[in-house]
Every structure is written in structure tokens, then in C-alpha cells.
Amino acid sequence: MQNNEIKFIERRSCDPDTGQNIVKLFSGDWYVSTSGEMLVTILGSCVSACIRDPIAGIGGMNHFLLPGDEKMVTPMSDAARYGVFAMESLINGILKEGGQKNRLEIKVFGGGNVINNSARIGSKNAAFIRNFLQKEGFKIHSEDLEGDLPRRIHYFCDSGKVMMRKLHRKDDMQVLRDEKIYQRKIAAEPVGGDIDLF
């Protein structure tokens, strides 16, 4: 189950050493797996939630960025609606495949203040994810948020294991260029529709 089957077919590969399927996620994506795939993404200011139902064996991940440089991101702001849409799409996708809300294990990553300006977009994304989960009654099982470095995340949906590496090399900084392009794109588009958790 994923938000766009055709798009993710191109992003699916197989590790030749382990035989495990790998799915890459980019800004604005969410993906749900019922087959123990490894989900991979690179985060700068963006945040990813890694969520699974350990009993049903269903898990997934999203990758989102709140657009704009607002002084305050409130639950009713247009910027927050991007995060709400990303979270509710992922959670609803897991529930649709047979997961149960009361069993969800949630781990969150990213929100680095990797762009040198006063907006602190990463911290706003981190505050959003913490506030959203608290408001919805979810517990965060583990997190690695904020700081000043990008992260590479490997999420194993079947076990819930996350492998994270903070990125220091110059060529790793492509994530910053990608995020700036994505931020300009979503700032120019209308906000997505509302979704309710079921």
C-alpha cells in the first residue's frame, strides 16, 4: 500500500547481498509496507515518522516539510496542514491494511536546522510532530530530532529497527538543495485536503 503505486515502482530496488526490498522516499512521500521492506530516506529540515503495528506486521514511513517561514506554526495554519496530511495519510494507510491505532509504535527523526537562517524550520517541524502526536494520544517510542546535521534513515518495517547516520560529507549536502526546491514548490501550491483518522 502506498500513495502512488507507479511512482514507487521506480523507487523500489533489491539489495543484492540480503535480497531485501528497498523503497526510497522523498519529500512529500508516505508509504506503507506489509512485506517487511526497508524504507530509506534522507532528512535535512524535514521530518519522518516511522510507524508500525508490531502484531499485524504492517509499517510505514512519511517524509514531510512544513512550508514557509512563519513565526509560529499553529494547528490551524496552512503550513501545519502539510504535516497533518502526511501523518494522517500514513496512519490511515496502516489502519486500512489491518493495523490498530492502540498498538502503533512510533519513532520520529529529522528536523535539523541545516539551513543557515533564523527561520529554524527544522525546529518548527520537530515541534509540530511532537505536538501532533501528543494531541492525538500517541506515545513517541524513540526520536532523534533537531540538531544541525542531515540524517539518513533506514527503517525496517517488520522489526521496527531504525538505522540512522548523521551526514557530514560535502556531497551529502544535496539534501539541502533538494529541500529548498521542494519548499519553493509547496509554497506555490494549494494545501492538500483534509483527512480524518479512523
Pick the residue with more confidence: 180 or 62? 62
Which pLDDT band, with edges at 50, 70 and 90, does 172 fall under? low
Pick the residue with more confidence: 171 or 107? 107
For the ranges 1-10, 131-140, 166-175, 189-198, which has the lowest average pLDDT? 189-198
Task: With beta carbons less than 8 A apart as the criterion, state whether 157 and 33 touch.
Answer: yes
pLDDT score of 79: 59
Task: With beta carbons less than 8 A apart as the criterion, state whether 125 and 68 touch.
Answer: no
Q: With a cut of 90, say whether residue 61 has pLDDT above it.
A: yes
Separation between Cα atoms, residue 42 and residue 124, nearest integer Å:
18
Task: With beta carbons less than 8 A apart as the criterion, state whether 28 and 182 touch.
Answer: yes
Distance between alpha carbon 78 and the CA centroid of its chain, in Å? Answer: 18
pLDDT score of 127: 93
Q: Is residue 49 part of a domain?
A: yes
Identify the CATH number of the domain in which residue 36 sits. 3.30.1330.200
Which pLDDT band, with edges at 50, 70 and 90, does 72 fall under? very low
Q: With a cut of 60, say whether residue 35 has pLDDT above it.
A: yes
Which pLDDT band, with edges at 50, 70 and 90, does 36 fall under? confident
pTM for the full predicted model: 0.80
Task: With beta carbons less than 8 A apart as the criterion, state whether 58 and 157 touch.
Answer: yes
Task: With beta carbons less than 8 A apart as the criterion, state whether 25 and 63 touch.
Answer: yes
Q: With a cut of 80, say whether residue 37 has pLDDT above it.
A: yes
Pick the residue with more confidence: 172 or 92? 92
> Percent of the chain, pLDDT > 90?
52
Q: Is residue 197 part of a domain?
A: no
Q: Is residue 145 part of a domain?
A: yes
Q: With a cut of 90, say whether residue 55 has pLDDT above it.
A: yes
Which range marks the domain in which residue 47 is found? 5-186
Domain count, the chain: 1
Q: Is residue 158 part of a domain?
A: yes
For the ranges 44-58, 74-88, 98-112, 143-157, which has the lowest average pLDDT? 74-88
Alpha helix ranges (H) inside 1-146: 5-10, 78-96, 121-135
End-to-end CA distance of the chain: 17
Q: Is residue 11 part of a domain?
A: yes
Across residues 32-53, what is the average pLDDT?
93
Q: Is residue 141 part of a domain?
A: yes
Residue recorded with cell 505536538: 131
Supply the mean pLDDT for the chain. Answer: 82
